[in-house]
Structure 1
Amino acid sequence: MPSPTQRALARIPERYKPFLVQHRKLVKFLLVGGTCFVLTTVIDLGLKFTVLQHKPVVALTVATVVATVVSYVLNRQWSFRANGRHREAILFFAVSALAVVVNDLPLILSRYVLDLREPDVTPLTQEIADFLSGMIIGTFLAMIFRFWAMNRWVFTRTGPAGSSAEDLEPERV
Protein backbone atom coordinates (compact mmCIF):
# COMPACT_ATOMS: atom_id res chain seq x y z
CA MET A 1 0.00 0.00 0.00
CA PRO A 2 1.51 3.35 -1.01
CA SER A 3 2.14 6.01 1.60
CA PRO A 4 0.17 9.29 1.53
CA THR A 5 3.26 10.99 0.11
CA GLN A 6 3.50 8.41 -2.67
CA ARG A 7 -0.21 8.78 -3.47
CA ALA A 8 0.12 12.57 -3.62
CA LEU A 9 3.20 12.35 -5.82
CA ALA A 10 1.40 10.00 -8.19
CA ARG A 11 -1.03 12.86 -8.96
CA ILE A 12 1.75 15.30 -9.88
CA PRO A 13 2.59 15.73 -13.59
CA GLU A 14 5.76 13.84 -14.55
CA ARG A 15 7.70 16.96 -15.50
CA TYR A 16 7.49 18.30 -11.89
CA LYS A 17 8.39 15.07 -10.09
CA PRO A 18 12.20 15.35 -10.46
CA PHE A 19 12.12 18.86 -8.96
CA LEU A 20 9.92 17.75 -6.06
CA VAL A 21 12.05 14.69 -5.36
CA GLN A 22 15.26 16.72 -5.55
CA HIS A 23 13.86 19.35 -3.16
CA ARG A 24 11.70 17.02 -1.06
CA LYS A 25 12.96 18.36 2.26
CA LEU A 26 12.08 21.94 1.27
CA VAL A 27 8.67 20.89 -0.10
CA LYS A 28 7.82 19.06 3.13
CA PHE A 29 9.11 21.97 5.20
CA LEU A 30 6.89 24.38 3.24
CA LEU A 31 3.83 22.13 3.68
CA VAL A 32 4.43 21.98 7.43
CA GLY A 33 5.03 25.71 7.42
CA GLY A 34 1.78 26.37 5.55
CA THR A 35 -0.14 24.31 8.06
CA CYS A 36 1.51 26.13 10.96
CA PHE A 37 0.92 29.50 9.27
CA VAL A 38 -2.83 28.81 9.22
CA LEU A 39 -2.69 27.67 12.86
CA THR A 40 -0.73 30.80 13.85
CA THR A 41 -3.17 33.06 12.02
CA VAL A 42 -6.22 31.50 13.66
CA ILE A 43 -4.72 31.66 17.16
CA ASP A 44 -3.36 35.19 16.64
CA LEU A 45 -6.67 36.59 15.41
CA GLY A 46 -8.56 34.70 18.11
CA LEU A 47 -6.39 36.20 20.82
CA LYS A 48 -6.28 39.69 19.29
CA PHE A 49 -10.04 39.94 19.12
CA THR A 50 -10.68 38.47 22.60
CA VAL A 51 -8.34 38.37 25.59
CA LEU A 52 -5.33 40.20 24.12
CA GLN A 53 -7.03 43.06 22.29
CA HIS A 54 -4.47 45.64 23.33
CA LYS A 55 -1.42 43.37 23.17
CA PRO A 56 -0.90 42.39 19.52
CA VAL A 57 2.76 41.44 19.94
CA VAL A 58 1.90 39.12 22.84
CA ALA A 59 -0.93 37.56 20.79
CA LEU A 60 1.42 36.93 17.86
CA THR A 61 4.11 35.54 20.17
CA VAL A 62 1.69 33.11 21.86
CA ALA A 63 0.33 31.99 18.50
CA THR A 64 3.83 31.50 17.13
CA VAL A 65 4.95 29.49 20.17
CA VAL A 66 1.95 27.13 19.88
CA ALA A 67 2.58 26.66 16.17
CA THR A 68 6.28 26.09 16.89
CA VAL A 69 5.49 23.06 19.05
CA VAL A 70 3.30 21.64 16.27
CA SER A 71 6.04 22.46 13.76
CA TYR A 72 8.62 20.59 15.82
CA VAL A 73 6.60 17.41 15.85
CA LEU A 74 5.73 17.58 12.14
CA ASN A 75 9.22 18.56 10.98
CA ARG A 76 10.92 15.98 13.16
CA GLN A 77 8.62 13.16 12.11
CA TRP A 78 8.13 14.04 8.45
CA SER A 79 10.14 16.88 6.90
CA PHE A 80 13.57 16.03 8.24
CA ARG A 81 12.98 12.51 9.59
CA ALA A 82 15.53 13.04 12.29
CA ASN A 83 16.62 10.57 14.92
CA GLY A 84 15.48 11.36 18.45
CA ARG A 85 18.03 13.33 20.44
CA HIS A 86 17.68 15.66 23.41
CA ARG A 87 20.23 17.98 21.82
CA GLU A 88 17.99 18.20 18.74
CA ALA A 89 14.99 19.36 20.78
CA ILE A 90 17.05 21.95 22.65
CA LEU A 91 18.51 23.29 19.40
CA PHE A 92 15.07 23.30 17.73
CA PHE A 93 13.56 25.40 20.47
CA ALA A 94 16.60 27.71 20.63
CA VAL A 95 16.36 28.33 16.87
CA SER A 96 12.59 28.72 17.20
CA ALA A 97 12.97 31.25 20.01
CA LEU A 98 15.20 33.33 17.75
CA ALA A 99 12.67 32.87 14.94
CA VAL A 100 9.87 34.17 17.20
CA VAL A 101 11.90 37.34 17.68
CA VAL A 102 12.48 37.59 13.91
CA ASN A 103 8.74 37.07 13.41
CA ASP A 104 7.79 39.77 15.93
CA LEU A 105 10.23 42.46 14.74
CA PRO A 106 8.21 43.66 11.70
CA LEU A 107 5.07 43.97 13.88
CA ILE A 108 6.98 45.87 16.55
CA LEU A 109 8.41 48.14 13.86
CA SER A 110 4.98 48.69 12.31
CA ARG A 111 3.16 49.36 15.57
CA TYR A 112 5.70 51.22 17.66
CA VAL A 113 8.21 52.79 15.26
CA LEU A 114 5.98 53.61 12.29
CA ASP A 115 3.05 54.22 14.69
CA LEU A 116 0.55 52.32 12.55
CA ARG A 117 -1.95 51.99 15.39
CA GLU A 118 -5.03 53.70 16.74
CA PRO A 119 -5.58 56.65 17.16
CA ASP A 120 -2.98 57.58 14.50
CA VAL A 121 -4.64 55.34 11.90
CA THR A 122 -8.08 53.79 11.46
CA PRO A 123 -8.84 50.42 13.07
CA LEU A 124 -8.93 48.79 9.62
CA THR A 125 -5.54 50.25 8.67
CA GLN A 126 -4.12 49.05 11.99
CA GLU A 127 -5.36 45.49 11.41
CA ILE A 128 -4.10 45.42 7.82
CA ALA A 129 -0.70 46.75 8.94
CA ASP A 130 -0.58 44.18 11.76
CA PHE A 131 -1.44 41.32 9.41
CA LEU A 132 1.02 42.36 6.71
CA SER A 133 3.88 43.11 9.09
CA GLY A 134 3.40 40.29 11.60
CA MET A 135 1.80 37.47 9.68
CA ILE A 136 3.16 37.99 6.17
CA ILE A 137 6.55 39.75 6.42
CA GLY A 138 7.44 38.38 9.86
CA THR A 139 6.44 34.83 9.01
CA PHE A 140 8.32 34.95 5.70
CA LEU A 141 11.53 36.19 7.33
CA ALA A 142 11.22 33.67 10.18
CA MET A 143 10.54 30.84 7.69
CA ILE A 144 13.73 31.58 5.77
CA PHE A 145 15.70 31.74 9.01
CA ARG A 146 14.14 28.52 10.36
CA PHE A 147 14.78 26.47 7.23
CA TRP A 148 18.39 27.56 7.08
CA ALA A 149 19.00 27.05 10.82
CA MET A 150 17.10 23.74 11.10
CA ASN A 151 19.00 22.30 8.15
CA ARG A 152 22.33 23.61 9.42
CA TRP A 153 22.19 22.91 13.14
CA VAL A 154 19.13 20.95 14.24
CA PHE A 155 18.13 18.14 11.90
CA THR A 156 21.59 17.16 10.75
CA ARG A 157 21.18 13.40 10.69
CA THR A 158 19.05 11.44 8.31
CA GLY A 159 16.32 9.18 9.59
CA PRO A 160 15.88 5.44 9.20
CA ALA A 161 16.70 3.63 5.98
CA GLY A 162 14.19 4.32 3.26
CA SER A 163 13.55 7.92 4.25
CA SER A 164 15.35 9.43 1.30
CA ALA A 165 14.03 9.77 -2.22
CA GLU A 166 12.33 6.36 -2.05
CA ASP A 167 9.58 7.70 0.19
CA LEU A 168 8.61 10.15 -2.57
CA GLU A 169 8.78 7.71 -5.45
CA PRO A 170 5.43 6.34 -6.54
CA GLU A 171 5.09 2.65 -5.90
CA ARG A 172 5.85 0.65 -9.01
CA VAL A 173 3.60 -2.27 -9.79
Structure 2
Amino acid sequence: MSLVETTLALIPEPFRGIAIKHRELLKFAIVGGATWVIDTVVFLVLKTTVLDTKPLTAKIMAVLVATIVSYVMNREWSFRTRGGRERHHEALLFFVVSGLGVAMYSAPLAASRYLFHLQVPEVSLLAQEVADFVSGQILGTLVGMAFRWWAFRRFVFPDENVRRQVTVPEHLDELGQ
Protein backbone atom coordinates (compact mmCIF):
# COMPACT_ATOMS: atom_id res chain seq x y z
CA MET A 1 0.00 0.00 0.00
CA SER A 2 1.38 3.42 -0.95
CA LEU A 3 1.99 6.25 1.52
CA VAL A 4 -1.03 8.13 0.20
CA GLU A 5 -3.29 5.07 0.44
CA THR A 6 -2.06 4.40 4.00
CA THR A 7 -2.68 8.01 4.94
CA LEU A 8 -6.13 7.99 3.33
CA ALA A 9 -7.06 4.81 5.24
CA LEU A 10 -6.41 6.63 8.53
CA ILE A 11 -8.86 9.42 7.70
CA PRO A 12 -12.41 8.82 8.97
CA GLU A 13 -15.43 9.11 6.67
CA PRO A 14 -16.82 11.50 5.37
CA PHE A 15 -13.45 13.28 5.30
CA ARG A 16 -11.81 10.37 3.44
CA GLY A 17 -13.93 11.09 0.35
CA ILE A 18 -12.83 14.71 0.39
CA ALA A 19 -9.18 13.64 0.77
CA ILE A 20 -9.49 11.20 -2.16
CA LYS A 21 -11.01 13.92 -4.29
CA HIS A 22 -8.06 16.18 -3.41
CA ARG A 23 -5.35 13.50 -3.54
CA GLU A 24 -3.00 15.80 -5.44
CA LEU A 25 -3.28 18.41 -2.68
CA LEU A 26 -2.62 15.72 -0.07
CA LYS A 27 0.54 14.65 -1.89
CA PHE A 28 1.61 18.30 -2.20
CA ALA A 29 1.07 18.71 1.56
CA ILE A 30 3.17 15.60 2.32
CA VAL A 31 5.97 16.90 0.10
CA GLY A 32 5.58 20.25 1.83
CA GLY A 33 5.86 18.59 5.22
CA ALA A 34 9.01 16.72 4.21
CA THR A 35 10.62 19.81 2.74
CA TRP A 36 9.51 21.83 5.80
CA VAL A 37 11.58 19.45 7.95
CA ILE A 38 14.55 19.85 5.59
CA ASP A 39 14.10 23.64 5.60
CA THR A 40 13.83 23.74 9.40
CA VAL A 41 16.89 21.57 10.03
CA VAL A 42 19.07 23.45 7.53
CA PHE A 43 17.84 26.83 8.86
CA LEU A 44 18.51 25.94 12.50
CA VAL A 45 21.91 24.40 11.77
CA LEU A 46 23.06 27.39 9.72
CA LYS A 47 21.54 29.94 12.11
CA THR A 48 23.24 28.40 15.14
CA THR A 49 26.63 27.86 13.49
CA VAL A 50 28.20 29.61 10.50
CA LEU A 51 25.41 32.16 9.93
CA ASP A 52 24.53 32.98 13.54
CA THR A 53 24.55 36.73 12.82
CA LYS A 54 22.71 36.42 9.50
CA PRO A 55 19.37 34.66 10.08
CA LEU A 56 17.82 35.93 6.84
CA THR A 57 20.70 34.51 4.79
CA ALA A 58 20.34 31.22 6.68
CA LYS A 59 16.61 31.17 5.92
CA ILE A 60 17.10 31.86 2.22
CA MET A 61 19.73 29.12 1.92
CA ALA A 62 17.49 26.65 3.78
CA VAL A 63 14.56 27.41 1.49
CA LEU A 64 16.78 26.95 -1.59
CA VAL A 65 17.91 23.50 -0.44
CA ALA A 66 14.32 22.52 0.32
CA THR A 67 13.20 23.86 -3.07
CA ILE A 68 15.56 21.59 -4.98
CA VAL A 69 14.20 18.57 -3.09
CA SER A 70 10.68 19.90 -3.64
CA TYR A 71 11.10 20.05 -7.43
CA VAL A 72 12.09 16.41 -7.66
CA MET A 73 9.37 15.20 -5.28
CA ASN A 74 6.60 17.35 -6.77
CA ARG A 75 7.44 16.53 -10.38
CA GLU A 76 7.80 12.81 -9.81
CA TRP A 77 5.05 12.30 -7.24
CA SER A 78 2.63 15.15 -6.43
CA PHE A 79 2.12 16.30 -10.02
CA ARG A 80 3.32 13.16 -11.80
CA THR A 81 0.40 13.13 -14.24
CA ARG A 82 0.48 16.87 -14.90
CA GLY A 83 2.72 18.75 -17.27
CA GLY A 84 2.20 20.43 -20.57
CA ARG A 85 5.64 21.98 -20.90
CA GLU A 86 9.04 20.84 -22.05
CA ARG A 87 11.10 19.71 -19.07
CA HIS A 88 13.58 22.59 -19.16
CA HIS A 89 10.73 25.14 -19.35
CA GLU A 90 8.95 23.36 -16.52
CA ALA A 91 12.09 23.39 -14.36
CA LEU A 92 12.76 27.05 -15.12
CA LEU A 93 9.19 28.02 -14.22
CA PHE A 94 9.34 25.87 -11.07
CA PHE A 95 12.44 27.70 -9.88
CA VAL A 96 11.08 31.13 -10.85
CA VAL A 97 7.88 30.43 -8.90
CA SER A 98 9.96 29.04 -6.06
CA GLY A 99 12.18 32.13 -6.16
CA LEU A 100 9.09 34.25 -5.65
CA GLY A 101 8.18 31.77 -2.92
CA VAL A 102 11.55 32.41 -1.22
CA ALA A 103 10.58 36.08 -0.95
CA MET A 104 7.19 35.11 0.46
CA TYR A 105 8.69 32.58 2.88
CA SER A 106 11.28 35.12 4.05
CA ALA A 107 9.03 38.19 4.33
CA PRO A 108 7.53 37.33 7.75
CA LEU A 109 11.02 36.70 9.19
CA ALA A 110 12.32 39.95 7.72
CA ALA A 111 9.33 41.83 9.15
CA SER A 112 9.81 40.20 12.56
CA ARG A 113 13.51 41.06 12.71
CA TYR A 114 13.80 44.35 10.89
CA LEU A 115 10.36 45.98 11.05
CA PHE A 116 9.22 44.89 14.52
CA HIS A 117 12.82 44.62 15.90
CA LEU A 118 12.16 41.28 17.58
CA GLN A 119 15.86 40.69 18.10
CA VAL A 120 18.46 41.01 20.82
CA PRO A 121 19.00 43.55 22.47
CA GLU A 122 15.42 44.87 22.02
CA VAL A 123 13.98 41.54 23.27
CA SER A 124 15.35 38.54 25.14
CA LEU A 125 17.17 35.76 23.30
CA LEU A 126 14.21 33.43 23.95
CA ALA A 127 11.74 35.94 22.50
CA GLN A 128 13.98 36.40 19.45
CA GLU A 129 14.21 32.66 18.82
CA VAL A 130 10.47 32.12 19.26
CA ALA A 131 9.72 35.06 16.93
CA ASP A 132 12.20 33.71 14.35
CA PHE A 133 10.61 30.26 14.46
CA VAL A 134 7.01 31.46 14.29
CA SER A 135 7.64 34.05 11.58
CA GLY A 136 10.14 32.06 9.52
CA GLN A 137 8.98 28.48 9.92
CA ILE A 138 5.23 28.75 10.44
CA LEU A 139 3.89 31.98 8.93
CA GLY A 140 6.42 32.03 6.09
CA THR A 141 5.76 28.40 5.26
CA LEU A 142 1.98 28.86 5.17
CA VAL A 143 2.16 31.94 2.93
CA GLY A 144 4.76 30.38 0.64
CA MET A 145 2.98 27.04 0.28
CA ALA A 146 -0.36 28.63 -0.57
CA PHE A 147 1.30 30.70 -3.28
CA ARG A 148 3.29 27.77 -4.65
CA TRP A 149 0.24 25.45 -4.77
CA TRP A 150 -1.63 27.98 -6.87
CA ALA A 151 1.32 28.88 -9.10
CA PHE A 152 2.51 25.29 -9.70
CA ARG A 153 -0.93 24.21 -10.89
CA ARG A 154 -1.47 27.40 -12.91
CA PHE A 155 1.94 27.88 -14.55
CA VAL A 156 4.38 25.00 -13.98
CA PHE A 157 2.17 21.91 -14.33
CA PRO A 158 -0.88 23.41 -16.09
CA ASP A 159 -2.31 20.42 -17.95
CA GLU A 160 -3.86 17.38 -16.30
CA ASN A 161 -3.23 13.77 -17.34
CA VAL A 162 -0.58 14.53 -19.96
CA ARG A 163 2.17 12.30 -18.60
CA ARG A 164 1.87 8.55 -18.50
CA GLN A 165 1.55 7.12 -15.04
CA VAL A 166 3.30 3.88 -15.95
CA THR A 167 6.44 3.97 -18.06
CA VAL A 168 6.71 1.17 -20.62
CA PRO A 169 10.02 0.67 -22.43
CA GLU A 170 9.65 1.66 -26.11
CA HIS A 171 10.59 -1.75 -27.48
CA LEU A 172 7.84 -3.43 -25.39
CA ASP A 173 5.31 -0.73 -26.27
CA GLU A 174 5.95 -1.24 -29.99
CA LEU A 175 5.46 -5.00 -29.63
CA GLY A 176 2.15 -4.45 -27.86
CA GLN A 177 3.42 -6.14 -24.69
User: What is residue 160 of structure 1 aligned with on the other side?
Assistant: 164
Shift of 1:18: 1.6
User: What is residue 109 of structure 2 aligned with on the other side?
Assistant: 107
Structure 1 unaligned segments of length 5 or more: list them.
163-173
CA distance in 1, matches of 2:13, 2:134: 36
User: What is residue 14 of structure 2 aligned with on the other side?
Assistant: 15
User: What is residue 170 of structure 1 aligned with on the other side?
Assistant: none
TM-score by length of 1: 0.86
Shift of 1:9: 3.5
Letter in 2 for 1:160: R
Note the alpha carbon deviations across 1:122-164, whole angstroms, 9 max, x for none: 11111011111111111110010000000100011333157xx
CA RMSD in angstroms comes to 1.7
Letter in 1 for 2:64: V
After TM superposition, where is structure 1 displaced by more than 6 Å over at least 4 residues in a row?
none
Identity %: 48
CA distance in 2, matches of 1:132, 1:41: 11
Structure 2 unaligned segments of length 5 or more: list them.
167-177
Letter in 1 for 2:120: E
Count of aligned residue pairs for this structure pair? 161
CA distance in 1, matches of 2:108, 2:22: 29
CA distance in 2, matches of 1:67, 1:100: 10
Shift of 1:5: 3.4
User: What is residue 125 of structure 1 aligned with on the other side?
Assistant: 127
Higher relative contact order (CA 8 A, sep 6+): 1
Letter in 1 for 2:45: G
CA distance in 1, matches of 2:3, 2:77: 12
Note the alpha carbon deviations across 1:49-96, whole angstroms, 9 max, x for none: 100000000001000000000111110011111456111000000000
User: What is residue 61 of structure 1 aligned with on the other side?
Assistant: 60
Quick one: structure 1 residues 4 and 66, their matched pair in 2 at CA, closer, same or farther if it must change by over 3 Å?
same
User: What is residue 40 of structure 1 aligned with on the other side?
Assistant: 39
SS at the partner of 1:145? helix
SS at the partner of 1:120? coil
Matches of residues 65-80 of structure 1 in structure 2 within 5 Å?
Answer: 65-80=64-79
User: What is residue 145 of structure 2 aligned with on the other side?
Assistant: 143
Letter in 2 for 1:19: I
CA distance in 1, matches of 2:140, 2:7: 30
CA distance in 2, matches of 1:38, 1:18: 28
2:8–2:20 CA contact under 8 A, matched in 1: no
